[in-house]
């Protein structure tokens, strides 16, 4: 999997938006690995799709996108996985800062909260941003990793 690979997943709350984003990303030259849901099921559960996306991100040191109704559920689950730095983003500024300041590797968005145009702007901004090399951001990311090591189960 190359640098232009992106892992994506959603439950029913993000299914429609995931389909649109998958087409957009593919059209822009990304290899999109869809970790589900592969069909709409109003009774599915967002935790079932988070792990597949996060495993792909960790294995490739890549990026992932997770979508549920609010984005909050997938964000909470993703951040339980050591090495995943997920951020819930709602506009271009939050997306840029999540990637630049925190080196976020999983973008979480709300399928019912963001209109498709806003969601595509958020994804495009996040995909273009790079982790900041400013010492204050490097220092803060180091502190985040230290906390993760203290609390991660071994």
One digit per residue, pLDDT tens: the chain, 154 residues? 556 999 999 999 999 999 999 999 999 999 999 999 999 999 999 999 999 999 999 999 999 999 999 999 999 999 999 999 999 999 999 999 999 999 999 999 999 999 999 999 999 999 999 999 999 999 999 999 999 999 886 5
The structure tokens listed for 92 are 């271009």
Residue 19 contacts residue 34 (beta carbons within 8 Å):
no
Alpha-carbon distance 104 to 100, whole Å?
8
pTM check: above 0.85: yes
**Structural domains of the chain sorted by starting position, each given as residue range(s) with its CATH number in brackets:** 5-151 (3.40.1400.10)
Catalytic (active site) residue 108 = no
From the candidates 12, 27, 38, 101, give the one annotated as an active-site residue. 101
Catalytic (active site) residue 27 = no
Place of tokens 């290899």: 31
> What's the pLDDT at 152?
83
From the candidates 12, 54, 68, 108, give the one annotated as an active-site residue. 68
> What's the pLDDT at 153?
67
> In 3D, which of 96, 94, 98 has the Cα closest to residue 144?
98
């Amino acid at each position: 999997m190359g640098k232009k690979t992106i892992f994506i997943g959603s439950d029913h709350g993000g299914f429609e938006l995931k389909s649109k984003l998958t087409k957009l990303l593919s059209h822009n030259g990304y290899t999109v690995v869809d970790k589900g849901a592969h069909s709409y099921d109003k009774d599915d559960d967002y935790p079932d799709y988070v792990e597949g996306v996060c495993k792909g991100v960790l294995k490739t040191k890549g990026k992932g996108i997770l979508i549920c109704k609010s984005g909050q559920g997938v964000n909470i689950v993703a951040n339980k996985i050591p090495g995943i730095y997920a951020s819930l983003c709602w506009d271009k500024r939050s997306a840029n800062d999540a990637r630049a300041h925190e080196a976020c590797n999983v973008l979480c968005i709300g399928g019912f909260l963001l209109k498709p145009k806003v969601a595509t702007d958020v994804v495009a901004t996040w995909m273009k941003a790079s982790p900041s090399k400013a010492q204050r951001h490097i220092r803060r990311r180091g502190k985040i990793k230290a906390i993760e090591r203290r609390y991660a189960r071994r």
